[in-house]
Chain A
Amino acid sequence: MKSLLDRLVSVMNNFSTVVRFTVMNKLRAKSFIISTLVFMLIISVAVNIPYIITLFKGDDADKVKTIGYIQTENSVGSAIGQQLEQYFAAVEGSSLKLKAFSGTGDTLADETVLRKALSEGELHSYIEFGEETASGFPSVVVKSEKLLDFSVASQIESVLQIIRQNNILANAGLTDEQLKQLQSPINVEAVQIKSSSAAGDDKEAKSSAEQGVNMGFIYIVIIFLFMAVMISGQLIASEVTAEKSSRVMEVLITSVSPLTSMFGKITGMFLIVIIQLVSYIGIALININLPHNAEMLANFDIDLSSIDPSVIVFALLYFLLGFFLFATLYAALGSIVSRTEDLGSAIMPMTFISLAGFYIAIFSISTPDSMLVKICSHIPLFSPFVMLLRVGLTDIATWEVFVSLAILVVTIYLAVLLSAKIYRTGVLMYGKRPSFKELRKAMKAYKI
């Protein structure tokens, strides 16, 4: 009994020694520090981009844009132009203003006048009214030196809709009351409910804003999991290969059992990934909470408390299990390669599998109840990505989540057994990358 306890203590000591060594080496490595700092810088910039954009167009955005049009007598276009001018003048704080230029009747001469005004900066753009179309309205062209200024065109478009409607309605003999009713907007509220809950019980229903927050949260977790798997998976594999190619492995396995060293390395790398992710999230949060950004954020109406706590628990669970499964397999793959150059091709399949899971999840985010998602949410290497969608965005029976989790846990158990064997065998095999047949033979020969 005592010796068993001693044994356990010594395994834990070795485990923590390996973890500490892995973490410290990474933290001390210049490449790690630099890449983390660069990424933090990129995040800081990215978070501030909306604000930076408003800074640059600051004075431009507040300025009222003047749009010119030609006014000639008896043309449909002039009448509509006048109505537009009145409409924008009536709206308080409108960013658009129309200005009439008296026309000569000669279209070309008129346009020359407008272009001159445009080039002198007096006008932002100008409107040309064309022939009357089938809808009883002239065609409208907004000409501007600036490309892709959709906001101006779309504002004009929506105002023109109203003007046309008003023009037609004015002749229909409606009362003001009726007009007001027609113009009042209709709001449709999308609410996600649980079909299992009793009718009328909408306590757990999610409003569209809450769904948005949930979707964002799921999105972030999926991306983080993918990043964690990709970055640390390759790191783990390449560290194992490096230990093997530098033959340090031969010294290591005479000091610590391969299993302890493998899980020590995986755990160490997990801590590193967590440190990285936390610093990324931290820097993002700091930036978001800077006064100028906080103001902007308030407009989005994001309420983090609307995330379902069970979603958070499941997200953490899937993140942990998913990371562990991938990391174990990466370590096994790293152990069968003796040279770093061969590593890329060896871990390629793993990379593809994690990419596939990630893509299925990301591209199904708007259709989280498709058959593809349902099936993939039970396939072990995909489920950490895909099941999160269903947990976060659909009304899924808890037992289904547990089935998927159970499959995942069993797979991890099998993967650990297999990886430990491959690792144990792989670290002693040098030379070209062994085929699975050779690996099996070696396993038998080494009696592992």
Chain B
Amino acid sequence: MNPLVVNNVVKHYADKTAVSGVQFEVGKGEIYGLLGANGAGKTTTMRMILGLIYPDQGEIRYNGKAYNKELLKTIGYLPEERGLYPKIKVSEQLIYLAQLKGMSAKDADRSLKNWLERFEVPENYNKRVEELSKGNQQKIQFISAIIHNPQFIIMDEAFSGLDPVNVELLKATVKELRDNGASIVFSTHRMEHVEELCRNITILHRSKEVIKGNVKEIKSKFPKEKVFLQTKSEVQGLERIAGVKDIHRHENGLEIVIANEKVASEILTHALAQSEIEHFQVKEPTLNEIFIRSVGERNE
């Protein structure tokens, strides 16, 4: 049985349904992507996993057991918005938060120093949070979620406010936590992160699941409708091929929208006849496109 099982949970707020029948499992050493537009029910789902609110129906099981207060120590939470004391020193508040998670002050201090070292900001130890830049605050927030080495980690927009270098740094850390066996629920609007990190995802829309499953399988289910073509010299007459819907000219080549995959080979033959080919790819739909299609189309 998987460590974290969310079984058909339903949550109503007064007359509004926030989450309706969400169901997924997160394995040991897995990052599960929870996606959805704003107000789709992600935060409510996360709050239920965190035990802050209880589901109206369904249940959530942790290592096969129902929620209990002991679990608090094994859960790490990275909220979407900054959740730190602005006027208190980093060391004081992180040791405090770690102590609340059951660590001794000494262990917490050692662990904090290690993490600060890893994130290349050891000088922040004695600084107040309000003195830090947004990216550095996010690093501290990140440390606060994982300092006690939790088994379950809930991350809401983990990489917001970070520059690309630091995103890579934290991404590597998330992967390492995964490899060490944590079960991670990961929510973000950045689909490229999802593609890189998550094995399985759920896309929520208006409190309901619209797409769920393995990222590769989801992508393979969507038809390949784009071809990327880069040639030495210009290719003429592409638009006359039956099944070519649209052609976008990019700096480095052409992006061709096609009706179905069979058209791709026709394009290749057509192009080979006229020029030398530098790059040809039948592109999988990106998660971004899948997301926009599944959420956007239902928006009407």
Contact residues of A with B, CB < 8 Å? 3, 7, 10, 13-14, 17-18, 21, 24-25, 242-243, 246-257, 428, 441-442, 445-447
Known: A254-B50, A441-B14, A447-B54. A10 touches B102 (CB 8 A): yes
**Contact between B70 and A247 (Cβ–Cβ < 8 Å)?**
no
Q: Is B83 a contact partner of A447 (Cβ separation < 8 A)? A: no
Which B residues lie within 8 Å of A17 (CB)? Answer: 96, 99-100
Q: State the Cβ distance, A219 to closest chain B Cβ, in Å.
A: 37
Sorted from nearest, which 7 A-B pairs have the closest CB atoms? Answer: A255-B100, A247-B83, A251-B83, A254-B77, A447-B54, A250-B79, A256-B100
Q: How large is the interface on B (under 10, 10 to 19, 20 to 34, 35 or more residues)?
A: 20 to 34
Which residues of chain B come closer than 8 Å to A248, judged between CB atoms?
A: 83-85, 93
CA distance A10 to B104 in the complex (A): 12
Nearest residue, chain A, Cβ from B69: A257
Pick 5 A–B contacts, CB within 8 A, sort by A. A7-B69, A242-B85, A255-B101, A257-B72, A442-B13
Q: Are B79 and A247 in contact (CB under 8 A)?
A: yes
Sample of 7 more A-B contacts, CB < 8 Å, known A255-B72, A257-B72, A445-B12 = A10-B73, A246-B86, A249-B83, A250-B77, A250-B83, A255-B97, A447-B56
How far is it, in angstroms, between the C-alpha of A445 and the C-alpha of B55 when the chains are bound? 9
Cα A344 to Cα B86 with chains together (Å): 21
Tell me whether A252 and B47 are in contact (CB under 8 A): no
Q: Which residues of A contact B92 (CB under 8 A)?
A: 21, 24-25
Tell me, yes or no, whether B82 is within 8 Å of chain A by CB: yes
Residue of A nearest to B47 (CB): A428
B144 CB-CB contact with A under 8 Å:
yes
CA distance A428 to B51 in the complex (A): 12
Contact between B14 and A445, CB atoms less than 8 A apart: yes
Expressed in whole angstroms, the Cα–Cα distance for A253 and B47 within the complex equals 11
CB contact list, B3-29 vs A, under 8 A: 12-14
B90 to chain A, nearest CB (A): 13
Chain A residue nearest in CB terms to B77: A254
- Complex Cα gap A18–B101 (Å): 12
Using CB atoms and an 8 Å cutoff, list the residues of chain B in contact with chain A: 12-14, 47, 50-54, 56, 69-70, 72-73, 75, 77, 79, 81-86, 88, 92-93, 96-97, 99-102, 144-145
Q: Verify A246–B83 contact, CB threshold 8 A.
A: yes
Tally A-B pairs: CB < 8 A. 77
How many angstroms between the C-alpha atoms of A249 and B84 in the bound complex?
A: 9
Residues of chain A with a CB closer than 8 A to B144's CB? 251
How far is A255 from B108 in the complex, measured between Cα atoms in Å? 14
How close is B41's CB to chain A, nearest CB, in angstroms?
Answer: 14
Provide the main secondary structure of the chain A interface: helix
* Max chain A C-beta neighbours (<10 A), residue from B50, B69, B86: B69
- Chain B's closest residue to A16 (CB) is B99
A247-B82, A445-B13 given; A13·B102 CB < 8 A: yes
What is the CA–CA distance of A243 and B56 in the complex, to the nearest angstrom?
A: 28
Give Cα A257–Cα B53 distance, bound, in whole angstroms.
12
A428-B11 Cα distance, complex, nearest whole Å: 15
Which residues on the A side are within 8 Å of B84 (C-beta)? 246, 248, 251
Residues on A with C-beta less than 8 A from B70 are 3, 7, 10
Q: Which residue of B lies closest to A430 (CB)?
A: B81
With both beta carbons as reference points, the residue of chain B lying nearest to A21 in the complex is identified as: B96
Query: What is the bound-complex CA distance between A14 and B52, given in angstroms?
Result: 18
**CB of B142, distance to nearest CB on chain A (Å):** 12
Residues B100 and A14 in contact, CB atoms below 8 Å apart: yes
How many angstroms between the C-alpha atoms of A149 and B209 in the bound complex? 89
- In the assembled complex, which residues on chain A have CB atoms less than 8 Å from the CB atom of B47? 428
Instruction: Establish whether residues B54 and A246, one from each chain, have CB atoms under 8 Å apart when the complex forms.
Output: no
**Please, which residues of chain A bring their CB within 8 A of the CB of B82?**
246-247
Smallest CB gap from A6: residue in B: B70
Q: Give chain B residues whose Cβ lies under 8 Å from the Cβ of A256.
A: 72, 100
With both beta carbons as reference points, the residue of chain A lying nearest to B102 in the complex is identified as: A10
Q: Is the CB of B102 within 8 A of A428?
A: no
Of all chain A residues, which has the CB nearest B72?
A: A255
* Cα–Cα distance between A24 and B69 once the two chains are bound (Å): 27
| Cα of A445 to Cα of B11 in the assembled complex, Å | 8
Task: Tell me how far the C-beta of B80 lies from the nearest C-beta in chain A, rounded to whole angstroms.
Answer: 9
Residues of A contacting B75 with CB < 8 Å? 254
Which A residues touch B101, using CB under 8 A?
255
- Whether the Cβ atoms of A428 and B53 lie closer than 8 Å is yes
Chain B residues positioned under 8 Å from A249 (CB to CB): 83
In the bound complex, residues from chain A placing their C-beta under 8 Å from that of B69 are: 7, 257
CA distance A431 to B106 in the complex (A): 38
